[in-house]
Structure 1
Amino acid sequence: MATLSTRRWPGYVAVWRWHFYAGLLCIPFVLWLALTGAAYLFRPQVEALIDRPYAHVAGAGPHASAAAQVDAALRAVPGAVLHRYQMPDTPEQAVQVIVGVHGRETRVYVHPQTLAVLKTVGEQNRLMRVVFRLHGELLAGNVGSYVVELAASWTIVMVLSGLFLWWPRSGALAGVVYPRLHAGGRRFWRDLHGVSGFWVSAMTLLLLVSGLPWAKSWGTYLKTARTMVEGSRVRQDWTIGAGAGGTRAMEDAHAEHGGMTMDHPRQSYGPLDRMVATVKPLDLAPPVLIAPPAGKGQPWTAKSDSADRPLRTDLELDATGRIVSRKDFAQRRLVDRIVGYGVALHEGALYGWLNQLVNLLTALGLMLLAISSVVLWWRRRPDGVLGAPHGRPRPALAVGLVAVIVLLGVLLPLFGVSLVAVLLFERLVLTRLPGARRWLGLAG
């Protein structure tokens, strides 16, 4: 029974094996998410550059009414209805009107004076929207969202196990807080890997956790738990999985965002000018979106759609333009506020350019971490095998590790399910194949 003895925490080699196999799964995704995430950080600058030709189109003189601008946009997309009217930030800007036909949205740029249509583009075809979908779902819808969430969950394991391996076991700072750049060889790459991992670990965990509410599995998990606790339908201002496209997603978003995206019944948009007159003096954080009623007897809605989510405000207005209700960020439930701060942090919008810089440095650090790990593996890998650290045939049961794994399995359900599947596959299949067992470095 000595071989089945217990200990509080696993040994260095045992954690190294977890770190190695988690990295094996995660490294390609870490590189991909870091690259696409770094690109998406600069969405405000990129979209401003794309929209520059339409930023100063109006001159002196009267502007057409908002209703007339919407009618011009609708004529450009036959069969469409108004989804959202985006209030221009300056009088010189082209007006952007988002219209939809059976769930497919088109953004129409309209000259505010002449009503000429200057540009039309599908919402899902906008450059930064494509980058967003590449980052969050690999352009593969909900399947891609599951894959990204699985990789993110295992990356959390990789970071936590990496911190355990990094934890200094002596008083030296070299190789712990700063790399020994003149060491050369494997020590140089090991220092580069460990030190860069230490410096980006906290922000990496924040980014990974703050991205989970968007993921299909974890986002649904959270929403279901909230519905059970709160006892009523949960209304969130973020989408789950491939929530930006498709009729069902439009219906869900409609229920949660006060009619901002679902097809509305055909109606007169004359009251829009009264909504604009009411909302404009409020000086809400841009972009400000106004949407018509989703059905008979329902209110008009207006909201700040600022990327800095703590600045957001939601309004409901009656047909006369009178504000019926107002809900600021501070009035939302605690969970919504926590997620809102996390999403803003994730997108680099919470504290301006400094947030962008910190996120960019984290992304670059993750790329360095991934590349250095590949170099380390390649330099130490024996010929003919994968090069995983060798495990003991019957290791002591580490109670602390089991507790951590169970906790992570509860908090990250997709990780828990995948871990059980991997362990079963290893026990029932791989250990019975001597060649595969030897190549993977599994215990006999």
Structure 2
Amino acid sequence: MNELPSAAVVRRWPGHNAIWRWHFYASLFCIPFVLWLSLTGSIYLFRPQIEAWIDRPYAHVAVAGTSATAADQVQAAFRAVPGSTLAAYELPATPEQAVQMLVRTPGGDVRVYVHPQTLAVLHTVDEESRIMRLVFRLHGELLAGPIGSYMVELAASWTIVMILTGLALWWPRGGGLAGVVYPRLRAGGRRFWRDIHGVTGFWVSLAALFLLLSGLPWAQGWGGYLKVIRHVAEGAPARQDWSSAHGEHHMAMTPGTASPGIEVLDRVAATVRPLALARPVLIAPPVGTGDSWTAKSDAANRPLRTDLTIDGQTGRLLTRRDFAQRRLVDRVVGYGVAIHEGQAFGGLNQLLNLLTAIGLTLLSISGAILWWRRRPTGKLGAPPPRPAAPLVRGFAVVLVGLGVLLPLFGLSLAVVLVADRLVLTRAVVMRRSESRSGQGHRV
């Protein structure tokens, strides 16, 4: 007769087997997304440098002399793109560079580069076709619109589970620092890859969790969820400085639907220019007749941003709203987005984010290698379920909390729990069937 294990030997859930099971299935779904997001995110980190390199032919085009008026420069853009209206005029950072502006057409926004003196149109490009816009959409929505954004949000949510369960599996249970804080590089085979996987996960987990959480405001599902909650809490529609990936525009503002009184643009620009707002500085016409012009800093480091309204007829500054005057949630998200994009504290921010992306890539590759090496031939290699194990409150609270904060994850979690229960039930039935079959053949 088999002896029953003592209470001291029985592991309560989530023991190693149960956590490993959650970690395995989360990783199985997330790894392709983690690799993709790490690659595209690493490229997008260097957007300012890449865009400056792309625009270098238009950085020094002017010669000594007087520049044309801003209104004339806009009219030159209109002639180049017939039927267009002004969406945003960007104040040139230097007198030598070409003037950039966005004009609106039925087919989307077009960026126009105009020579500041001769009014020659140097270049036009559909805004959504620009390289970094494509990278942004590849990163945030897989070029699949709202559906892609939901997929990225779901992958980010399960990556959080993957990281938390990975930390629980890694958590040291005695012994030295080898294989915990630093890898044993001379170890061979599975131990080498296990150390690479575990140690890398330890060093990048905190930064990775921050990047995952700070990217959620862009997501189609969670971003809309946050906006609805803010509408209910604040009693009015929330004006956010970000939107879902599908609707995000890196020159985000509310442009005019027409181009009334373009001749006053120089008056507005004369008011904005001495304020020395963080670049780029964008000016947009009124939404309707009699409305004020708007100007804003669209700095990649969002805490540097400022919003202005200006009377076009007099050039008088009507309102100024700096980052510090925004609501707390907007400031928190603004700091998170700036760090997420690598723009909060210069090159060091870019380097740290790049190292995190490299670490996540190494984590995914090493995890895949470990799974491939130890999986049984012809099987998926998932850890066997233990249906009799009791639930530990702490882990349940974490999952329920994530399900409430991330509704899309909560829905997918319910599906996974149902599917897992069906698998458990089927496995138990098969074992009982095999057991009865074996007893029936005994002599």
Same fold (TM over 0.5): yes
Matched, 1:334 2:328: yes
Residue matched to 2:180: 176
* Alpha-carbon offset, residue 392 of structure 1: 1.2
CA distance in 1, matches of 2:179, 2:226: 40
1:175-212: CA deviations, max 9, x gaps? 01000000111000000000001100000000000000
Match of 1:150 among 148, 154, 157: 154
Alignment of 1:26-425 (within 5 A): 26-102=30-106, 104-244=108-248, 257=253, 259-260=254-255, 263-319=256-312, 320-425=314-419
Q: CA RMSD in A?
A: 2.1
Residue matched to 1:442: none
Q: Do the aligned residues in 2 keep the contact of 1:7 with 1:398 (CA within 8 Å)?
A: no
CA distance in 2, matches of 1:266, 1:348: 35
Q: Secondary structure at the match of 1:92?
A: coil
Q: Do the aligned residues in 1 keep the contact of 2:101 with 2:112 (CA within 8 Å)?
A: yes
CA distance in 2, matches of 1:277, 1:7: 72
1:113-134: CA deviations, max 9, x gaps? 0000000001100000100000
1:210-266: CA deviations, max 9, x gaps? 000000000011111111111111000101141048xxxx9xx7xxx4x23xx5224
Q: Secondary structure at the match of 2:215?
A: helix
Q: Do the aligned residues in 1 keep the contact of 2:306 with 2:322 (CA within 8 Å)?
A: yes
CA distance in 1, matches of 2:185, 2:110: 53
> TM-score, length-normalised on structure 1?
0.91
CA distance in 2, matches of 1:73, 1:269: 12
* Alpha-carbon offset, residue 433 of structure 1: 6.3
Q: Do the aligned residues in 1 keep the contact of 2:296 with 2:307 (CA within 8 Å)?
A: yes
Query: 2:220 is matched by which residue type in structure 1?
Result: K
Query: 1:99 is matched by which residue type in structure 2?
Result: V
Q: Do the aligned residues in 2 keep the contact of 1:9 with 1:399 (CA within 8 Å)?
A: no
CA distance in 1, matches of 2:344, 2:149: 24
1:62-113: CA deviations, max 9, x gaps? 0000000000011111110000000110000000010001361000000000
> TM-score, length-normalised on structure 2?
0.92
Query: 1:326 is matched by which residue type in structure 2?
Result: R
Q: Do the aligned residues in 2 keep the contact of 1:7 with 1:399 (CA within 8 Å)?
A: no
CA distance in 2, matches of 1:98, 1:8: 61
CA distance in 2, matches of 1:379, 1:264: 60
Misfit runs of 4+, over 3 Å: 5-9, 425-428, 430-434
CA distance in 1, matches of 2:107, 2:207: 37
Q: Do the aligned residues in 1 keep the contact of 2:310 with 2:316 (CA within 8 Å)?
A: yes
Q: Do the aligned residues in 2 keep the contact of 1:8 with 1:400 (CA within 8 Å)?
A: no
Q: Do the aligned residues in 2 keep the contact of 1:300 with 1:316 (CA within 8 Å)?
A: yes
* Alpha-carbon offset, residue 431 of structure 1: 5.5
Q: Secondary structure at the match of 1:109?
A: strand
CA distance in 2, matches of 1:367, 1:397: 32
CA distance in 2, matches of 1:188, 1:402: 33
Q: Do the aligned residues in 1 keep the contact of 2:12 with 2:389 (CA within 8 Å)?
A: no
* Alpha-carbon offset, residue 398 of structure 1: 1.8
CA distance in 2, matches of 1:33, 1:100: 31
Give the share of equivalent positions with the same residue, in percent. Answer: 66
Q: Secondary structure at the match of 1:108?
A: strand
CA distance in 2, matches of 1:7, 1:219: 40
Q: Do the aligned residues in 1 keep the contact of 2:149 with 2:246 (CA within 8 Å)?
A: yes
CA distance in 2, matches of 1:13, 1:63: 71
CA distance in 1, matches of 2:223, 2:143: 18
Q: Do the aligned residues in 2 keep the contact of 1:409 with 1:415 (CA within 8 Å)?
A: yes
| Number of aligned residue pairs | 422
For structure 1, list consecutive stretches of 5 or more residues without a partner in the other structure: 439-444
Query: 2:238 is matched by which residue type in structure 1?
Result: V
1:350-373: CA deviations, max 9, x gaps? 000000000000000000000000
* Alpha-carbon offset, residue 38 of structure 1: 0.2
Query: 2:173 is matched by which residue type in structure 1?
Result: R
* Alpha-carbon offset, residue 397 of structure 1: 1.9
CA 1:426–1:156: 2 relative to 1, 3 Å: same
* Alpha-carbon offset, residue 43 of structure 1: 0.5
Q: Secondary structure at the match of 1:69?
A: helix
Query: 2:66 is matched by which residue type in structure 1?
Result: P
* Alpha-carbon offset, residue 396 of structure 1: 1.5
CA 1:395–1:431: 2 relative to 1, 3 Å: closer
